[in-house]
Amino acid sequence: MQGKTVVITGATSGIGEVTAIHLAEQGARIVFVARDARREEATRSRLAGGGHSYHLADLSTLAEMKRVGAEIAAAEPRIDVLMNNAGALFASRKLTADGLESTFAVNHMAYFVLTALLRERVVPGGRIVNTASAAHWGASLNFDDLQSARGFSAYGVYQRSKLCNILFTRALAKRLD
């Protein structure tokens, strides 16, 4: 990974943070998105090497997704790996300023919007990685109620968001082939 630029969302905890730390140890330059400065600082202090950068953004709103995507695109002419990893599970149904259900917004829409904005920066042979989970098993999509206005279940919404990640990744792979 020496000399590679890796953009990671959700890099301030969990899988994203462990990935950022290990890739930095292998010589990658990490560009990450964090939702608050305190967590950003803690993660940045754990990254080996130098030249890492970060962007603060709330990935639950379309305006912030677009803003941070444009910021990263302007700052990074070359991206070797885009890792969409930010995720959340909200216990109760909460809508974003855009009218999107919060879990769906963070777990799926942020992946979609950031990929659309950064895809041209991903070098030939580069990778776009969308973190999903086995939670998608048993999930189905109701296109008449994608925002879970009827019958909200926190885990059910999480399952559907992970199914959306997998379906998006498969469709993207076909388009990029």
CB 9 within 8 A of CB 129: no
Backbone angles phi, psi at 130, to 5 degrees: -115, 115
158 noted as active-site residue: yes
The residue from 54, 111, 155, 158 that is catalytic is 158
SS3 readout for the chain: CCCCEEEEECCCCHHHHHHHHHHHHCCCEEEEEECCHHHHHHHHHHCCCCCCEEEECCCCCHHHHHHHHHHHHHHCCCEEEEEECCCCCCCCCCECCCCCEHHHHHHHHHHHHHHHHHHHHEEEEEEEEECCCHHHCCCCCCCCCCCCCCCCCHHHHHHHHHHHHHHHHHHHHHHHC
**Looking at the annotation, which residues are catalytic?**
158
